[in-house]
Amino acid sequence: MVTLTGPGAVGKTRLALQAAHDAAVGFLDGVVFVGIAPITDPHLVTATIAQALGVREAEGTPRPGRIAAALHDKRLLLVLDNFEQVVDAAPDVSDLLVTCPRLTILVTSRSRLRLSGEREHAVPPLELAEPGHPSPVEEVGRSGAVRLFVERAQAVKEDFVLTPENAGAVAEICRRLDGLPLAIELAAARTKMLSPLAMLARLDRLLPLLTGGGRDAATRRSGNGRCAMPSPGPTNCYRTTSGRCFDGWRSSLAGSLWRRQKRSPSRPESAAWTRSMAAPHCSITVCCGRTTG
């Protein structure tokens, strides 16, 4: 079990999706992503996991037992996103690992779950440009935070470039936003209307507004609780120029997940699970939790 920890908006979910995509080829029975954010009752976590796995209700059989039976011989990666508000359900996650020896679990949370065998990877903010005296544009542009700002700014304003006139303002905006990827992306989207200098002057007033963004930036839920997530494929931020700041983390994390599943005995290809989560093409099944039920 691996837990990605860090403050909100630092990029834990996106990193987990990309790491799951990178490691998926090593999981014969696929990857299942379960969004825990809508849930505040720890007692609903197992129900949400069961829903994501397609485990049906069965009279007389406790839900944890049904999940364990469904996963017992499956080589599967289960991603549990935004677990911090239901940490009291951590023992249920631990029980799954005990009863399902081939299961690997990747969790995102603002704090570790404090389970035996848990490996924590703290996700840092993006690298910032050095503060203080003015720096050459090339030096400012090497920081991960500035590269992300420029990339996202160019998505809404094609002619946006980092120049000696705006580089200091861009670097300061990124510093004021603590290098948090989501906040930087949302700020950069404002360059369609504001120059970096104008944005910096108004940043204190803009901060409460940096809660919007692209319509696909957040999970989009449908009536049945399933959702469409941005694909963690080649167009994802972590594959682009700005994403190189997390390449080391991706490689390390995917490697950890790969090594964890390799400890389990191999299974013949013909034994692959034939549900939608089976991974001949490295698919990721996504499900969002419900707040009721």
The 10s digit of each residue's pLDDT in 147-203 is: 999 999 999 999 999 999 999 999 999 999 999 999 999 999 999 999 999 999 998
Residue partners of 22: CB distance under 8 A and separation at least 6: 250, 251, 254
Q: Residues of the chain whose pLDDT is less than 50?
A: 211-247, 264-282, 291-293
Q: Please give the pLDDT value at position 286.
A: 62
Q: What does the alpha-carbon distance between residue 238 and residue 100 come to, in Å, rounded to a whole number?
A: 31
Q: What does the alpha-carbon distance between residue 176 and residue 229 come to, in Å, rounded to a whole number?
A: 29
CB-CB neighbours of 183 under 10 Å: 22
Q: Quick one: 270 exposed, middle or buried, by C-beta within 10 A (0-12, 13-18, 19+)?
A: exposed
Query: For 171-189, what is the HEC assignment?
Result: HHHHHHCCCCHHHHHHHHH
pTM: 0.71
| CA proximity to 249, closest of 8, 18, 1 | 18
Tell me if 12 sits within 8 A of 5, measured CB to CB: yes
Amino acid letter for position 96: L
Backbone angles phi, psi at 80, to 5 degrees: -110, 110
Q: Please give the pLDDT value at position 260.
A: 53
Q: Please give the pLDDT value at position 231.
A: 40
- Give me Rg for the CA atoms of the chain: 21
